[in-house]
Amino acid sequence: MIDRDKAFRTLSEYGQEHLMAHYDELDESEKKDLLDQIGIIDFSVLDNLDAEKNSNSVRGVFEPLGAVTIDDIASNSVNYEKTGIEAIKSGRVAAVLLAGGQGTRLGFDKPKGMFNIGVDKELYIFQCLINNMLDVVKLTGAWIPLYIMTSEKNHNETTAFFAEKNYFGYDHGYIRFFIQDMAPSVDFNGKIMMESRSRISVSPNGNGGWFSSLVRAGLLDEIKEKGVEWINVFAVDNVLQRIADPGFVGAVIESGMQSGSKVVSKAFPEERVGVLCLEDGMPSIVEYYEMTEEMRTLRNEKGELAYKYGVILNYLFNVEKLEEICDRKLPIHVVEKKIPYMAENGELIKPDTPNGHKFETLVLDMVHMQDSCLAYEVVREKEFAPVKNATGTDSVDSARELLKANGIEI
Ligand SMILES: CC(=O)N[C@H]1[C@@H](OP(=O)(O)O)O[C@H](CO)[C@@H](O)[C@@H]1O
């Protein structure tokens, strides 16, 4: 633990002395709690508030990137699957589930994966994902090591839930949990916010933090000891996605590329998915909110969207390459958010409009650090049912329809 003076020096270096304004009024355990938080926060992220204007907004020259299409895959599936099954059977494939988030946008104040998407029966989001993995376990006869990233906010609830549900039938010897690192939240003047007199406002540092958090948790050694070569990283919110999909794994291995990304053909220009493309000749993803109107709507000579391959947040990375790039800093995205904060009178306020910034690294920036990335096109109706909102597009309702259409009882 750092002492009071050291904490104060660190804060003054970054103009954040106000975090200790109430220090003398705190009891001993609160004092310790506050100093512990100051001790672990990486204050250097604050530098991005100025640097942001320069670094993240300057992008290279974009070009569309081709994919192995649904038709290509159909004609090579036997071959791809054979290669993928071999890799899975020999323990060369693991999976990482990004589950640090809460179900806030669904109106659900628990880990998102604990949301029950079932109608006539219980069917949790986590359960859908595990069931999808169990299909591959059945096919290959091999358990795929699964690493689940939680956050400080939802770790205890998530681990207790999995234990209570007996890991939904997955061999829990193959499941490990690790906690995502946190970053502080700031107001529009760059001052870190407080949630109470002894609690600094922090939030998970974006889904790009998964690899460094995994390394910090000491799990990379285990991954290497097991002989894992490929890691399939996937998001919690797509209940139809295939995980450690032998066809995808096999196609990436056969292609000789360093990484792979599952993609869908975008349904319409404004669809809220990032697009996989080339930036200065290297694979890159441009998020939906970063795309220019021209990039969103440009058509090729066939009349299709030029940037048509949307990512579904299901990537395959090579462990050796990840180790090589892990010392390189991922760009930090400064994102406007609604951040609960303590007012002058000590009351916790939950704002209705954005009132500050959070700092996030994004997994998609790791794609730009790869020499190559195979875009692997999947059938959206079969593999893409994102649960982002309570109703409407990409919602609980639309995901339920898609689950039913795929013969899954809900
Ligand atoms: C930072 C990140 O990984 N963003 C992802 C993620 O976006 P959301 O803003 O979380 O919906 O999921 C999309 C797929 O549902 C994917 O297209 C996009 O690239």
The domains of the chain are located at 1-40, 41-46+60-405
Q: What pLDDT, on a 0 to 100 scale, did the predictor assign at position 2?
A: 86
CA distance 162 to 19: 36
3-state class (DSSP) for residue 80 = helix
Query: What pLDDT score was predicted for residue 54?
Result: 46
From the options 3.40.50.300, 3.90.550.10, 3.40.1190.20, 3.40.50.720, give the CATH code of 41-46+60-405: 3.90.550.10
DSSP collapsed to 3 states, 225-272: HCCCCEEEEEECCECCCCCCCHHHHHHHHHHCCCEEEEEEECCCCCCC
Distance (Å) from CA 272 to ligand 1 centroid: 8
How many Å lie between the centroid of ligand 1 and the Cα of residue 3?
Answer: 40
Q: What is the pLDDT of residues 117-157, one digit of tens each?
A: 999 999 999 999 999 999 999 999 999 999 999 998 899 99
User: How open is the CA angle 371-360-335, to the nearest 5 degrees?
Assistant: 120
Which pair of tokens denotes residue 8? 């104060």
**What are the two backbone dihedrals, phi and then psi, of residue 361, each rounded to the nearest 5 degrees?**
-100, 150
Predicted local confidence at residue 141, as pLDDT: 98
Cβ proximity of 125 and 158 under 8 Å: no
User: Does ligand 1 have an atom closer than 6 angstroms to the CB of 312?
Assistant: yes
Joined tokens for residue 136: 């591959």
Q: Ligand 1 centroid to 143 CA: how many Å?
A: 28
Average pLDDT across the chain, whole number: 94
264 lines ligand 1 (CB under 6 A): no
User: Who contacts 50 (Cβ-Cβ below 8 Å, separation ≥6)?
Assistant: none
- Residues 234-264 have pLDDT tens digits of 999 999 999 999 999 999 999 999 999 999 9
Torsion (CA) 235, 241, 244, 246 in degrees, nearest 10: -150
Low-confidence stretches of the chain (pLDDT < 50) are 54
pTM above 0.90, yes or no: yes
